[in-house]
């Protein structure tokens, strides 16, 4: 039996935009008779949601009242058909709202806002799940939508202003329009030098993605020193300069030194500078490889046909060896893997670096680089007749196996 509805609204302020209402807060509005045991365990049956008003049938112990809830300007309006006009919430409404808060979240009433999830769920039913229960109705955006702005519980709101003010890569806008400043990785022909990094500059294409005509290396160096650059460019310029100072007068071999008179190259220092430079280079837009014949070229413009746009990979190649039993002889091969996958068609002719198609990789260590150079200069594999195997095993495989995996393979017999 539903008691006749006499409209009487009761208003409770909600906490700011979150529209939170705690049970503690609610209890301030209960009257001397509005105890929960006066209207025990009410069942709230969903009737309708129209014009921002949620209609529920509020029943307990065989009696029922209509309950209408709406939210307006951070206030919850409550109407119970019992016609309560006292300064307190009636026991029906108090007990019902208590149940809603107990079974839902404190910010459940946010869903009743004009653009809240209840209104949208009725407007766009295919994007929302509705669930009726003994505490009325709940709605939520379907999972396929992912987090929904303003609606999803726990949506990560962030203050973009603060985030955007955090340290990041600054935009460098100091160059003349149409002019690009980038970096060239010098790849010296036949290990005449260790690879090095120098600035490069020139006219950009229309999209600003490529340098289409080059300034001389000397001009590029002057421009890079003059132009105020980003923090990472400043660090990169320093590393590139230090690297150049170390490598400019020495051959790029690790293993073969011309004469005893040549001092040992400072391998670790050179490698460390590459390790410093690599992540900085990776941030740059305009990075090229240049197949380089020697320092005399630095007075000139880069030759277009020896210039290649290149991608700096953050992956570090790993090396191991493979020993195949071919019947009358063995073959030892160098295997280079990136992300555990062997790569072929690589170019290992530049100390510390591996070039694979349009990407440049830095080897993991100076020792790896020495072994890559050794194998590369030997043509990448070594054949050993069985007659020499005992000696080879003792002099090469045993020491090598202490540091590197040697995979043993047996060729299938015909
Ligand atoms: Zn009432």
At 286-315, the pLDDT tens digits run 999 999 998 889 899 999 999 999 999 999
Q: Which two tokens stand for residue 81?
A: 């058909």
Residue 199 has pLDDT above 50, yes or no: yes
Higher-confidence residue of 382 and 159: namely 382
Burial label for 317, CB within 10 Å (0-12, 13-18, 19+), is buried
| DSSP states of 135-203 | BEEEEEE-GGG-S-TTTSTT-----HHHHHTSS-PPP---SPTTEEEEEEEEEEGGGSS--EEEEEEEE
Residue 241 has pLDDT above 90, yes or no: yes
Strands (E), 225-344: 287-292, 307-309, 311-312, 318-325, 329-338, 341-342
pLDDT for the residue numbered 327: 87
Distance 62 CA to ligand 1 centre (A): 15
Mean pLDDT over residues 332-338, rounded?
A: 95
Mean pLDDT over residues 258-282, rounded?
A: 85
Instruction: Say how far apart CA 286 and CA 336 lie, in whole Å.
Output: 27
Distance 45 CA to ligand 1 centre (A): 16
Distance of CA 169 to the CA centre of its chain: 15
pLDDT in tens, 124-166: 999 999 999 999 999 988 988 887 887 876 666 666 777 777 7
Distance 207 CA to ligand 1 centre (A): 70
Mean pLDDT over residues 355-384, rounded?
A: 92
Residue 177 has pLDDT above 60, yes or no: yes
Distance 73 CA to ligand 1 centre (A): 23
Residue 186 has pLDDT above 60, yes or no: yes
Residue 414 has pLDDT above 50, yes or no: no
Query: Cα-flanking dihedrals φ and ψ of residue 11, to 5°?
Result: -120, 130
Instruction: Say how far apart CA 344 and CA 133 lie, in whole Å.
Output: 63
Distances from the Cα of 392 to the Cα of 352, 375, 382, angstroms: 26, 15, 10
Mean pLDDT over residues 247-261, rounded?
A: 74
Mean pLDDT over residues 5-22, rounded?
A: 80
Residue 4 has pLDDT above 60, yes or no: no
Distance 24 CA to ligand 1 centre (A): 20
Q: Which two tokens stand for residue 391?
A: 């000696």
Distance 59 CA to ligand 1 centre (A): 11
Higher-confidence residue of 2 and 152: namely 152
Residue 173 has pLDDT above 50, yes or no: no
Q: Which of the 8 DSSP states describes residue 316?
A: -
Please report, to the nearest 10 degrees, the dihedral formed by the alpha carbons of residues 374, 380, 383, 389 taken in order: 40
Mean pLDDT over residues 363-371, rounded?
A: 93
Distance 53 CA to ligand 1 centre (A): 17
pLDDT for the residue numbered 413: 54
Distance 115 CA to ligand 1 centre (A): 28
Distance 132 CA to ligand 1 centre (A): 22
Distance 91 CA to ligand 1 centre (A): 6
Residue 232 has pLDDT above 50, yes or no: yes
pLDDT for the residue numbered 2: 47
Distance of CA 291 to the CA centre of its chain: 33
Query: Cα-flanking dihedrals φ and ψ of residue 120, to 5°?
Result: -70, -35
Distance 46 CA to ligand 1 centre (A): 17
pLDDT for the residue numbered 237: 92
Distance 105 CA to ligand 1 centre (A): 23
Distance 133 CA to ligand 1 centre (A): 21
Mean pLDDT over residues 368-384, rounded?
A: 89
Distance 65 CA to ligand 1 centre (A): 7
Distance 160 CA to ligand 1 centre (A): 46
pLDDT for the residue numbered 400: 92
Residue 227 has pLDDT above 80, yes or no: no
pLDDT for the residue numbered 6: 44
Instruction: Say how far apart CA 11 and CA 219 lie, in whole Å.
Output: 75
Longest dimension (CA), the chain: 110
Q: Report pTM.
A: 0.59
pLDDT for the residue numbered 37: 86
Looking at every residue in the chain, the average pLDDT score rounds to: 88
Q: Which two tokens stand for residue 119?
A: 């209104």
Distance 130 CA to ligand 1 centre (A): 27
Distance 34 CA to ligand 1 centre (A): 9
pLDDT for the residue numbered 322: 95
Distance 393 CA to ligand 1 centre (A): 95
């Amino acid at each position: 039996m539903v008691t006749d509805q006499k409209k009487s609204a009761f208003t409770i302020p909600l906490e700011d935009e979150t529209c939170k209402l705690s049970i503690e807060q609610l209890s301030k509005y209960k009257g001397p008779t509005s105890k929960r045991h006066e209207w025990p365990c009410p069942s709230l049956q969903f009737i309708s949601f129209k014009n921002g008003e949620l209609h529920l049938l509020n029943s307990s112990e065989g009696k029922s009242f209509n309950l209408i809830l709406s939210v307006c300007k951070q206030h919850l309006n409550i109407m119970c058909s019992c016609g309560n006009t006292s300064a307190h919430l009636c026991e029906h409404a108090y007990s019902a709202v208590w149940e809603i808060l107990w079974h839902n979240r404190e910010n459940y009433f946010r869903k009743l806002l004009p653009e809240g999830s209840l209104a949208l769920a009725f407007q766009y039913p295919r994007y929302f799940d509705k669930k009726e229960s003994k505490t009325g109705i709940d709605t939520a955006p379907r999972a396929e939508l992912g987090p929904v702005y303003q609606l999803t519980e726990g949506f990560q709101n962030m203050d973009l202003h603060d985030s955007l003010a955090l340290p990041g890569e600054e935009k460098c806008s100091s160059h003349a329009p149409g002019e690009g400043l980038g970096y060239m990785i010098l790849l010296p022909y036949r290990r005449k030098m260790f690879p090095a990094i120098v600035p490069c500059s020139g006219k950009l294409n229309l999209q600003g993605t490529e340098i289409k005509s080059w300034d001389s290396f000397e001009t590029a160096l002057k421009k890079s020193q003059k132009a105020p650059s980003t923090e990472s460019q400043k660090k990169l310029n320093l590393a590139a300069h230090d690297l150049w100072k170390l490598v400019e007068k020495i051959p790029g071999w690790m293993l073969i030194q011309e004469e005893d008179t040549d001092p040992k190259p400072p391998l670790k220092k050179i490698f460390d500078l590459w390790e410093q430079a690599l992540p900085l280079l990776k941030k740059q837009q305009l990075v090229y490889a240049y197949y380089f014949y020697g320092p005399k070229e630095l007075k000139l413009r880069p030759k277009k046909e020896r210039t290649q746009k290149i991608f700096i990979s953050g992956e570090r190649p790993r090396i191991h060896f493979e020993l195949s039993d071919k019947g009358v002889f063995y073959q030892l091969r160098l295997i280079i893997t990136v992300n555990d996958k062997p790569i072929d068609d690589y170019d290992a002719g530049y100390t510390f670096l591996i070039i694979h198609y349009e990407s440049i990789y830095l080897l993991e260590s100076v020792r790896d680089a020495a072994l890559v150079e050794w194998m590369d200069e030997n043509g990448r594999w070594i054949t050993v007749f069985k007659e020499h195997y005992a000696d080879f095993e003792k002099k090469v495989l045993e020491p090598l196996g202490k540091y590197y995996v040697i995979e043993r393979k047996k060729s299938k017999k015909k």
